[in-house]
Amino acid sequence: MLKSFIDAHVHLNTTSRAKMELALRHNAAFLSINTDIPDFESLEQQEQIVLELQALYPGRVLHITSFDNRYWNTDKWLVHVLRQINNGISKGAVGVKMWKNIGMDKALRDEKGRFVMMDDERFDPIYKFLIEKNILLIGHQGEPRNCWLPLDKMTVNSDRQYFEQHPEYHMHLHPEYPSYEEQMQARNNVLEKHKELKFVGLHLFSMEWDLHEVAGLLDRFPNTMTDLAERVCHVQLQARDDHQKVRDFFMRYQDRVIYGTDVIDDGTLSDKELNDRFSDLWQRHWDFFATDKILTAPEFEGEFRGLALPQEVLSKIFRDNAVNTYGFEKDIFNPLDKVTTK
């Protein structure tokens, strides 16, 4: 593993110290992303948890704030959202998240009953505020394209198993919801309209099925970055079929991609189970990006070869791009420049 790295997409929703001690042993740090998810603690509670971790482990956890839409379609909504954003930034948040509920929540509709999408003009004051204050926006829009496909057409087992168990979230069964293409277009409309907005398109911009599509967005919108959270298996699947295409992508966009796992720490796993999950993902992902080993993944059939990326590229993807995008202090990592593929 890298002698230092950042898992720049996690949800640390408990004050358990075991994962922090694991991070210290690996000389690692976390970006914890607060999100308005029904199954999570409230945004206020998520923030309090991460502030406690930050006090105990200075520099090892940064966080992203978010907002809810409880006052949508009322005069209170915009004031409420800006207050939440300001409060989060004042408490050290390094950016703001927009989640997929905007575009996929059937309860979030406009006055005519239409689903509210990210490019609804009522969000424009928020985008302008973020640009004016030089605040980063990160976005999870839509879902993997598999979500809109029949089960037998899905590309990875993890998606197939999840949507089979949760048909309420399987958009192929719900044609009344906005389509995958509409979700992606709404996000692109925002980036086209607000070109100065600093934006991280999470989960490979939800274009995980084809790195060529991700490349097109990075070229089209130079103020954007993307991350790998919960989408590495889709990259590995493409490497199985076209290794050179995948390696060329990471060589070309080495300054635009950020590593993250999307591990959720919500108390349902024991300390050991959580740490084992982190350790397993970190090692398997490292083997894929750093070595030329012949590998397999639980999400699909077949073998693929690791990318064996150069040391300087690995350092950017696993650490430096997160430092530059989110503002981690380099001083907490010692040493910065050594990598081992063992």
**Contact between 261 and 7 (Cβ < 8 Å):** yes
What stretch of H or E contains 63?
Answer: strand 61-66
pLDDT of residue 335: 52
pLDDT (tens digit per residue) in 155-180:
999 999 989 998 988 999 999 999 99
With 50 as the cut, is the pLDDT of residue 342 above it?
Answer: no
- Mean pLDDT, the chain, whole residue set: 95
pLDDT of residue 2: 74
Mean pLDDT of the 104-128 span: 95
CB atoms within 10 A of CB 189: 13
* Structure letter (DSSP) for residue 209: T
Which of the four pLDDT bands, split at 50, 70 and 90, describes residue 339? Answer: very low
With 80 as the cut, is the pLDDT of residue 7 above it?
Answer: yes
pLDDT (tens digit per residue) in 76-112:
999 999 999 999 999 999 999 999 999 999 999 998 9
With 70 as the cut, is the pLDDT of residue 188 above it?
Answer: yes
Mean pLDDT of the 236-251 span: 98
pLDDT of residue 341: 42
pLDDT (tens digit per residue) in 16-62:
999 999 999 999 999 999 999 988 999 999 999 999 999 999 999 99
Q: Is the bond preceding residue 335 a cis peptide, omega within 30 degrees?
A: yes
What stretch of H or E contains 309?
Answer: none
Q: Which residues of 93-120 are buried (b: 16+ CB within 10 A; e: fewer)?
A: bbbbbbbbbbbbbeebeeeeeebbbbbb
* Structure letter (DSSP) for residue 109: B
With 60 as the cut, is the pLDDT of residue 337 above it?
Answer: no
With 90 as the cut, is the pLDDT of residue 331 above it?
Answer: no
Mean pLDDT of the 221-244 span: 98
Instruction: Give me 233's structure tokens.
Output: 């298996």
Mean pLDDT of the 312-328 span: 97
> 3-state class of 31 per DSSP?
strand
Q: What residue spans define the domains of the chain?
A: 5-332
pLDDT of residue 330: 84
What is the pTM (predicted TM-score) of this model? 0.95
Q: Which of 68, 66, 132 is nearest to 94 (CA)?
A: 66
pLDDT of residue 333: 79
pLDDT (tens digit per residue) in 265-283:
999 999 999 999 999 999 9
Instruction: Say which CATH superfamily domain 5-332 falls into.
Output: Metal-dependent hydrolases (3.20.20.140)
pLDDT of residue 183: 97
Which of the four pLDDT bands, split at 50, 70 and 90, describes residue 9? Answer: very high
Q: Cα–chain-centroid distance for residue 103?
A: 17
